[in-house]
Amino acid sequence: MARVVVDPITRIEGHLRIEVETKGGIVTDAWSSGTMFRGLELILKGRDPRDAWVFAQRACGVCTTVHALASVRAVENALGLVIPTNARLIRNLIAGIQYVQDHVIHFYHLHALDWVDVVSALSADPARTSDLAQSISAWPLSSAVYFKGVRDRLQAFVDSGQLGPFANGYWGHPAYALPPEANLLAVAHYLQALDWQRDVIKIQAILGGKNPHPQTYVVGGMAMGVDPNSPTALTVRRLSEIAELTARARDFVEQVYVPDVLAVAGFYKDWAGHGAGIGNYLSYGDFPEGAPDDPRSFYLPRGRILGRDLSKVLPVDQASVAESVAHSWYTYEGDETALHPWKGQTNPKYGGPKPPFDTLEGSATYSWLKAPRYEDQPMEVGPLARMLVAYASGQADVKTAVDDALGALGVGPEALFSTLGRVAARAIETSLLVNRLGVWQRDLEANLKTGDLAIADTSRWDPTSWPDHAEGWGFEEAPRGSLGHWIVIDKGSITNYQMVVPSTWNGSPRDAAGHRGAWEEALIGTPLADPERPVEILRTIHSFDPCLACAVHVHDPAGGPGVTVSVV
C-alpha cells in the first residue's frame, strides 16, 4: 500500500487536502480534508437578519452572489415574504450569468490543464489545428495564421521559463491523450476565455452594482430602481447592454466551449468509466419562472436520485438534511453526531496531528468540513446532479441537450455517471442557461412595460412586525451545487445560522456510519500511471469544481532555489 497526498498551494479560496491509498497503481481508499476553519456562522450570531446576506456573501469571492441569494431567501422564508416578479427575474439574471462565467472559467482555467498538455501544443501544425477548429465550430478565430501566432507566443512563453499558471502542470504525463493540434486549440481558447469572461460578467455589475459581491440584494426583493423615467434606474439602454453581453456570452459558449468539451471528451472516453462515486444525486432546483417559492415553477427542477436509478425522482425536504461531525473537527453538545441545521452547532475542536504533518493517517477526525447527509445518505451535488434530476424529471430542454451530447459522443446515459459526465453536464447546463438568460431578460422588459415597477416586498421590513421566534431556510443552486442557509431568529436577532455549502456535500469526510463523501468515493478505482504525478486524482476532484483550491503540494527544499536580491 502506498499513500499519495495531494495538498494545497494556494490559500485564496481555502484549503483542500486529499490523501489516497493505492495498490498496484489503483486508488483503493481516499480521505478528503478541508484544512481551513470557516466559522462564518459564529460571526452571524446576534446580528440583524436583514444584514446577514452582506456577511454571508463573503464566504467566497469566487462563488460570489450565491451566498447572498441563499441568505435573503432564508430570511424571506422565515418572515413569509414573496418577492415581486421584477426581483425574481433580476435575481435569475444575476445568478444565471454567474453560472455561465463560472462554468467557462472552470473548464478553461481550472480544469482544462488536467486534460490538455500545454507543452505538446508546441509541436502542433497550425494548418492542421485550423482544419480541426473549422471541423468542430464556425467560430471565426480559426485561421492557420492565428494558430501560428498563438503557438509562437506559447513558445516564447515557455522559453522564458516563467510558466505562471502552467508552472505546476504534469507536462508529458502518459495520461495525456490529445494530439498536439487539439492541445494548441485548447490553449488558444484558454486565452480567449480570459478576455471573454471579464466582459460577460459586466451583467452582474450592471444589475448588482459591482462584481464580485453584488450589492443590490435586500430581504424581500432587490434594492434598485426600475422606473424607466429615472436616469439611475434599470433603463432601456442598460437592458439592451445586457442583451448584447448575453449574445456575446452565448456565441462563445455555443461556438467554443461546448465544441471544445465534446472534442476533448472524444479523446478521453475511458473517463466515462472512472470517477462515478456514490451515485446519489441531489438538486434543490432553481431559477423560478412563476411563483418564486414553488419548485414546480423552477427551470431546473428540484429532486433526488438514489443509486443511479433514473426511473425515479424522489422529493426533497429541507427537514431531511443533517450534518454529522463524527469524523470532523467539531463537537456537538451531548452525544449527537448529526444535527439538522436549525439545531446546528459550530464548536471547533481540532483533533488532527500537530501541523505541519505528513499525513492524516490514523486520525479518526480529519476535516474542517462537516458531513451533510440526506436521510443519512451522502449525496453528490453540482451540474451533473442538476442535469440528471432534470433529465429524469423529463425537463424537455435538458432531455434534448443531454441526448444530443450523448449522441455526439456515441455513448449511452450510463456514461453520465463519471468524471467525464460531470464535465459534459457542466457544458450542457451552460448552454441551456446562456439561452435562458435571453428569455428572462425579455420577460423582465415585458413585465416593466406593463407598468409593474414593484421590486421588493418591504411590508415586513420593520422588525416589530416579526414574530418573536422564526425559523427559515433558503435553497440556492450555486454553480458548484446545492447551497442551503438555515436561520433562526429570536426577537429580531439571529440566534443560529448554518450554511451547508456544495463543497461540503461533495468534499465531506466520512459520517458516523462510515459512508464516504462524494469525492472520497469517486476516487476509488482511479488508475494512477505515475503516483508521483497524480493527474488522474486532479481530473476527478476538479470535475466537481471544488470551491476549495486543490493542487499538488510541492515541497520546496529548505531555502528553495537560490535567489539573489538587492536589499534596499
Neighbours of 7 (CB within 10 A): 18
- Give whichever of 42 and 167 is closer to other proteins, judged by the CB atom: 167
Q: Are 90 and 214 in contact (CB under 8 A)?
A: no
Q: Does 166 bind other proteins (CB under 8 A)?
A: yes
Q: Is 60 an annotated catalytic residue?
A: yes
Q: Is 503 an annotated catalytic residue?
A: yes
Q: Does 567 bind other proteins (CB under 8 A)?
A: yes
- What is the distance between the alpha carbons of residues 59 and 80, in angstroms, rounded to a whole number? 25
E strand or H helix that includes residue 421: helix 419-449
- Residue 307: burial class (beta carbons within 10 Å; 0-12, 13-18, 19+): exposed
> Terminus-to-terminus CA distance in the chain, angstroms?
51
Q: Where are the alpha helices (DSSP H) in 51-172?
A: 52-56, 66-79, 85-105, 126-136, 144-160
- Give whichever of 166 and 267 is closer to other proteins, judged by the CB atom: 166
Interface with other proteins (CB under 8 A), residue from 1, 24, 161, 315? 161
Q: How many residues bind other proteins (CB under 8 A)?
A: 32
Q: Is 151 an annotated catalytic residue?
A: no
- What is the distance between the alpha carbons of residues 184 and 566, in angstroms, rounded to a whole number? 39
Q: Does 145 bind other proteins (CB under 8 A)?
A: no
- Residue 200: burial class (beta carbons within 10 Å; 0-12, 13-18, 19+): buried
- Give whichever of 334 and 561 is closer to other proteins, judged by the CB atom: 561
Interface of this chain with other proteins, residues 27 to 86, rule: CB under 8 A: 61
Interface with other proteins (CB under 8 A), residue from 2, 42, 138, 191? 191
Q: Does 231 bind other proteins (CB under 8 A)?
A: no
Q: Does 396 bind other proteins (CB under 8 A)?
A: no
- Give whichever of 396 and 554 is closer to other proteins, judged by the CB atom: 554
Q: Could you say which of 15, 60, 324, 431 is catalytic?
A: 60
Q: Is 238 an annotated catalytic residue?
A: no
Q: Could you say which of 32, 63, 130, 543 is catalytic?
A: 63
Q: Are 421 and 384 in contact (CB under 8 A)?
A: yes
- What is the distance between the alpha carbons of residues 544 and 539, in angstroms, rounded to a whole number? 9
- Give whichever of 9 and 247 is closer to other proteins, judged by the CB atom: 9
**To the nearest whole angstrom, how small is the minimum distance from the Cβ of residue 532 to other proteins?**
19
Q: Does 24 bind other proteins (CB under 8 A)?
A: no
Q: Could you say which of 15, 88, 181, 550 is catalytic?
A: 550
Q: Does 205 bind other proteins (CB under 8 A)?
A: no
E strand or H helix that includes residue 502: helix 502-507
Q: Does 442 bind other proteins (CB under 8 A)?
A: no
- What is the distance between the alpha carbons of residues 93 and 111, in angstroms, rounded to a whole number? 25
Neighbours of 267 (CB within 10 A): 14
Catalytic residues: 13, 60, 63, 67, 480, 503, 547, 550
Binding stretches for other proteins (CB under 8 A): 9-10, 12, 61, 109, 153-154, 157, 160-167, 191, 194-195, 198, 554, 556, 559-568
